[in-house]
Amino acid sequence: MNLRHAPVLARAAARAAALALAAGCASTPPETHLYSLDLPPAEGTPGEALVARLGVEEFTASPLLEGRGLVYRLSEVELARYRYHEWAEAPAVLVHGNVAEALRAAGVAGSVLEAPRFYEGEADLVLAGRLVRLEEVDGDKAWRAELELRVELLRPGDRRVVWAETYRDGRIAERRRPEAVVRALAESLREMAARLALDLRVALAEAARAEGGGAEAVPATPR
C-alpha cells in the first residue's frame, strides 16, 4: 500500500462502514435522505430599515454544487458526491432563501424582494451571491462542515458594485454522519446570515451617505 494514501483510504473505509451500518443488510436499494438548511433566523431586535426595497437575486454556485448530492472531501484534491444523501433543493436555492429570510427578520429594508419574483427595476439595491463551498470534510477523527459565500451589493441598472464581502465558516460536526454535517452547515449559515445582515446595514448607511442624502430610516413592511 502506498502510505501516502493510507489516511484517505482509512477515511473512505470508515464512511463505508458507517453507511453500511445505517443501511443494514437489506438487499433493497438504500432510502434516499433529503436535507434542508432551514433553521429559524438568529434572534435579534430588527433595526430601522435604511432602504425601501432590497432585491435578493437568485444565487449562483460553483459547478460542484450545481447537483443535489451532498459533497464530501476526502483530501485536498479529492472530492465526491453522495448517491443517497441529497439536498431537498439546489444548494444555491436553499442558501438564497435562508439569507433572504434573515435579512427580512433583521429589518434591513422596508421590503426584501426575492428573485425570481421581482424585476431589477423594482429594487433600490440588489444583493447578489455565489455559493463557493458547502461540503463535508472528512478527517481521521472528525468530520467538518465548511461553508463559503460571496456577496455583492449592486446598483440596479448599471450593476455597479457598492459593497462586497466573502464569508467563511468551518466547524466540527457532532458525529461522523451526513445529517450531523448538515446540522452544522445549517448552524453556520444561520450565524453567517446574521453577520451579513449587520454588515449590510453598515453598507446601506454608507451607500446612502455617498449619495449625499444621509441614511434616512424607512418604515419596515416585510413581505
Domain positions in the chain = 3-34+45-210
Helices 178-210 and 91-106, axial angle in degrees (round to 10): 50
Average pLDDT, the chain: 85
Residue type, 192: M
pLDDT of 115 reads 81
- Tell me the fold of 3-34+45-210: Rossmann fold (3.40.50)
Residue 185 and residue 38: Cα distance in Å, rounded? 10
Helix (H) or strand (E) holding 179: helix 178-210
Q: For residue range 167-182, what is the model confidence (pLDDT) as tens digits? A: 999 999 999 999 999 9
Q: How confident is the model at residue 147 (pLDDT cuts 50, 70, 90)?
A: very high
pLDDT digits (tens, 9 = 90+) for 14-43: 565 555 555 555 567 789 999 999 888 777
What confidence category does residue 219 fall into, taking pLDDT thresholds of 50, 70 and 90? Answer: very low
The residue behind cell 439546489 is 90
Which pairing describes strands 125-138 and 79-87: parallel, antiparallel, or unpaired? unpaired
